Amino acid sequence: MLVRVWTDKDSRTGPPLILVQCKRYKADASVGVESIKAFWTDVEFDQAGKGLIATTATDSREGQRVCKARKWRTEFAQAADVQGWARSLWRHVPVLSSSLDPTESATGAETIDLMSRGAVTRFGTLARVFKGGQSELLNGIARLAVFYEDLRVEMGEFRKLYAEIIESGKPGADYRVMYFQRRALATLVEFRGCFTVILQTKEFKQAKPTLSEMDARFIDGANKYLNDNWARIKELRNEFAGHIKADSVEFGLTRFTDEVGKITWNPDTDAWSTALECDFAGHILAGAISSKLQTGTDVQSELGTAIDVISQGSSHAQGAMLAWVHAFVWDRFGGA
């Protein structure tokens, strides 16, 4: 995830003070030199004062040496630094509080800080929590929860695979990266559609003035991002996540030159899938996608754009879902 930091709201018309690249990796992984070089191009393009790579793992020594030798304005925060930040910051997060009706407490239970360090689980009879399908607002949130969970699973797998294959240079499974990217794009489109419907409900319009500052900020922020980038999201969805039609495959096949594909027979004890692995399908998919790209673009550059849009869209979706649940659902479930 890429974060731009300014000193205040008024300064956002100019270059950011800091550009932060967040990398959530396994402890034994490392942010490779190519990722560090790519990040520096973003720092330069944005004319940021400096760059900061924050990771739950480590940064490659080679990458750090390159930054030092070329005098790039880049700093590094690794596992211990990030853990220290998390421990010191959690106390300053405001306690979330709101409900569907300002005069109604669904459970009578005290509001629990959703940002606490420990896990908090509540249980509730869904017919009561969602008013038996009689609330248009709660119906929308229930539907949105499905898209949210889809996106959470897809992004979790995508980030893991992207780190293992693209950034760590591990061979194989490239097709899975594109699969979860395509699914995440399609889900983001569905999430936005449902999100927009909820905003138009009478119940939400009546409750909006009572939202906490944080809930309102998360919902408004997600709405702004999805609206501002809607045309691009749809464009990327059509390019990457649309139907793979016969003419698109033919387009790609007629333009292959020296591409090398791979096919494997790999029998194992997993009875849930066949032993045949058609790894060449990734090349076919890339060729089909190229038939949909606008003039002057290529699959690799569009892939980078799609990753950025999905990452930011997913972050906004998470914040918005947190706000929806906290404002209208959390107190309707039973106590911890």
With a threshold of 0.75, does the pTM exceed it? Answer: no
Domain-located, residue 259: no
Considering the domain architecture, whether residues 297 and 149 belong to the same structural domain is answered as yes
Scan for tokens 């449902």, then name that residue.
194
Considering the domain architecture, whether residues 195 and 298 belong to the same structural domain is answered as yes
Query: Tens of pLDDT along 90-100?
Result: 343 333 333 33
Q: What percentage of the chain carries pLDDT values higher than 90?
A: 22
Domain-located, residue 252: no
Query: Tens of pLDDT along 276-291?
Result: 777 777 777 777 766 6
Domain-located, residue 114: yes
Considering the domain architecture, whether residues 44 and 102 belong to the same structural domain is answered as no
Query: Tens of pLDDT along 54-113?
Result: 887 787 788 888 888 888 888 888 877 776 665 554 343 333 333 333 333 333 333 445
Domain end, chosen from 69, 92, 115, is at: 92
Considering the domain architecture, whether residues 29 and 115 belong to the same structural domain is answered as no
Domain span holding position 230: 98-242+292-332
Instruction: State whether residue 17 is helix, strand or coil.
Output: coil
CB 106 within 8 A of CB 131: no
Reading the chain (336 residues) residue by residue, the pLDDT tens digits are 678 888 777 777 788 888 888 887 776 778 888 888 888 888 888 888 899 888 877 877 888 888 888 888 888 888 777 766 655 543 433 333 333 333 333 333 334 455 555 677 888 889 999 999 999 999 999 999 999 999 888 888 877 776 665 555 555 446 677 778 788 888 999 999 999 999 999 999 999 999 999 899 999 999 999 999 888 888 777 767 667 778 878 877 887 777 787 777 777 655 555 677 777 777 777 777 666 665 555 556 666 677 778 888 888 999 999 999 999 998 888 754
**What sign results for the dihedral spanned by CA atoms 46, 48, 53, 59?**
positive
Considering the domain architecture, whether residues 125 and 177 belong to the same structural domain is answered as yes
Considering the domain architecture, whether residues 58 and 160 belong to the same structural domain is answered as no
Position 217 scores a pLDDT of 92
Average pLDDT for the chain? 77
Q: Which amino acid is at 70?
A: R
Output the six-digit token pair for 285: 């998919």
Q: Which of 193, 294, 284, 277 is nearest to 238 (CA)?
A: 294
Considering the domain architecture, whether residues 302 and 157 belong to the same structural domain is answered as yes
Q: What DSSP character marks residue 210?
A: G
Please state the domain count of the chain. Answer: 2
Instruction: State whether residue 167 is helix, strand or coil.
Output: helix
